[in-house]
A and B are shown apart, each in its own frame.
Chain A
């Protein structure tokens, strides 16, 4: 095999823990009530279209995008809207949610529920963007940036490279891995749809080498599709980050303050591309996703197809924890959010729910910095976290800005590698928050 691709600056190798890689995607079923937040994306919250007492079908539009950077929200179940009020989300803060009581599972008639593969793309490029917008699709890798905005290329710029992000570099998570193994062909057609929408011929699916099954499956499939290739990357965290992935696959560097489109690249998560396939070819809006429920001490960890709005506690019951978990994380262990409320629902961006044992969550007292420089070595953005932490301790946020703390993407490499266990990522986050507040 030729030399594997990867990004050159920084990166770490955390333990993989991909124990659910061989677990087929299971249907999680439909809970009795779902809680659908109106803001599951970056941008303005969606405007609520339903009222208490309204009856909705699965796939009915219940909240409309408010502005360009926003996304539609569709009902994930059929039933009755029983409450529209603020409820606690995973961080404990209040979020506006639409509560729907489930009755049966009646889908909108327009949705094609057959399992047949539709490979002919009949929609025109403009239609594709409109369908993606009305299906409420957002980046499903974690950030939740509305996809139609991302694929509407600004005038004067040109995209020549579409990268499908199947890296999934976070430990434990296997949702994208399983999706590539089971729905490989759908993802490839999704890539073709993106090609058509942007008027270019090629797409690259980037996969970490630690997913041999997915690589094999897609390798077989891409032989039949001209223009879709696979780029196998050497496993390293955070390869799934947009900038690092572009550097790994194309060798192009996205300058600070610029977007991938400035270097002619578009990166889409494979989950998002699968959702695009379902929206364009099957007329199915985004109301369910694959969630990995994993952790140590679980009887039934696995990958579940989950309706948006399903409470986390419902999924945790499915996974059957053997003991009391010490820490529950929404997302991956490196960048995810520690949950304080288990009634919080799965959203469009929840890629996993992790239940870690109390004794596997290491809590360290930070000690003094020994100036070893490992944080700077591991930073994929080439920053100096130890220096940033020093400035933040003294409250010199403008000095921290001068050494480019705003380019930090909070991947957590520095905190992970620090032998003194200093929460360096936290310092960077605080600096970014303070600088943005002062503007």
Chain B
């Protein structure tokens, strides 16, 4: 009896030893070189793997940070983590913290249920990308929001919510990391990543219409009709394809109140003037 046990122990030990030798050499051959510093930096990142930084994921971004010199490090930025994370990363690597203006996603459409009432019903899969192919949209505006919420479903940070009252998606600026998922998913390209501005005061044209004014007004009361009033007040504003665009360089504090008051359709949104914004929304 004891012989069998001894034999078993010896045979199994030999197999274990042989396997250990094979595994040792295999581990040597297929060894993945991991930079401990990169792993440390990856641990600081949000691990959302959202791709907003332009890299394949958080690990890829961490490796890029390790490889970067002082100059190229200034071009790396994690929008999801923001300046807080970047300060920590810079501290770890011994670089100075790059300056970065906080940004937020804004919707260039104000076609609310009230401004642009539904003309037809839509039945089927509730997806903007599909509806955009099938027809012009419930409101009749070929450039406006379809209000089916692909951006809401695809926001990795839960920063966009459907506003039941207006029917439009609403970006929560505190949750938004400007990762750009909404910019990529929106079939009509209504989102833009804009500087958040001082104290969150922003000034932009909430319309993407490219039809002539009279046609656009039939579908939506808040459409930009390219009347040029804003362009006359502020020379930096450009009007192209029946649509006004306010560049981010136009200071909301200086021009905001005047431009918002001058816009005859209310397409210009100035978030500094809270009363005005509520009226539009």
Contact = CB atoms under 8 A, between A and B. Distances in A.
Interface of A: 88, 91-94, 337-338, 340, 363, 395, 423, 426-427, 429-430, 433-434
A429 B130 contact: yes
Contact of B137 (A92, A363, A427, A434): A92
B19 interface: no
Given A94-B142, A340-B120, A430 B136 contact: no
Contact of A429 (B119, B120, B133, B136): B133
Q: Which 8 A-B pairs rank lowest in CB-CB distance, beginning with the nearest? A: A92-B136, A426-B125, A91-B135, A423-B125, A430-B130, A423-B124, A340-B120, A426-B124
A265 to B, nearest CB: 30
B129 A433 contact: yes
B140 interface: yes
Contacts of B120: 338, 340
Interface in B139-161: 140, 142, 154
B140 A92 contact: yes
Contacts, number: 43
Interface string B117-129: 0011001110101
B135 A92 contact: yes
A93 B136 CA distance: 5
A88 B135 CA distance: 11
Contacts of A395: 154
Contacts of B135: 91-93, 337-338, 340
Contacts of B124: 423, 426
Contact of B133 (A340, A427, A433): A433
Contact of A426 (B130, B137, B140, B154): B130
Nearest to A424: B125
Given A340-B136, A430-B127, 16 more contacts: A88-B136, A91-B134, A91-B135, A92-B135, A92-B137, A92-B140, A92-B142, A337-B135, A340-B140, A426-B124, A426-B130, A429-B130, A430-B125, A430-B129, A433-B129, A433-B130
B129 A340 contact: no
A213 B96 CA distance: 86
24 contacts: A88-B136, A91-B136, A92-B135, A93-B135, A93-B136, A93-B142, A94-B142, A94-B211, A337-B134, A337-B135, A338-B120, A340-B136, A340-B140, A363-B123, A395-B154, A426-B127, A426-B130, A427-B125, A429-B130, A429-B133, A430-B125, A430-B127, A430-B130, A433-B129
B112 to A, nearest CB: 19
Interface residues of B, number: 17
Most buried by A among B124, B125, B130: B125
A340 B137 CA distance: 9
A433 B128 CA distance: 12
Contacts of B130: 426, 429-430, 433
B125 A340 contact: no
Contacts of A338: 120, 134-135
Contacts of B136: 88, 91-93, 340
Contacts of A337: 134-135
A434 B123 contact: no
A427 B135 CA distance: 16
Most chain-A CB neighbours within 10 Å: which of B123, B133, B137? B123
A88 B142 CA distance: 10
A203 B123 CA distance: 42
Contact of A340 (B119, B127, B154, B211): B119
Interface string B74-98: 0000000000000000000000000
Nearest to B135: A91
A210 B15 CA distance: 75
Query: Which of A337, A427, A430 counts the most B-chain CB atoms under 10 A from its CB?
Result: A430
Nearest to B140: A92
Nearest to A366: B125
Contacts of B137: 92
A322 B130 CA distance: 33
A331 B157 CA distance: 42
A91 B131 CA distance: 10
A72 B29 CA distance: 66
Interface string B205-244: 0000001000000000000000000000000000000000
B121 to A, nearest CB: 8
Contacts of B211: 94
Interface in B165-183: none
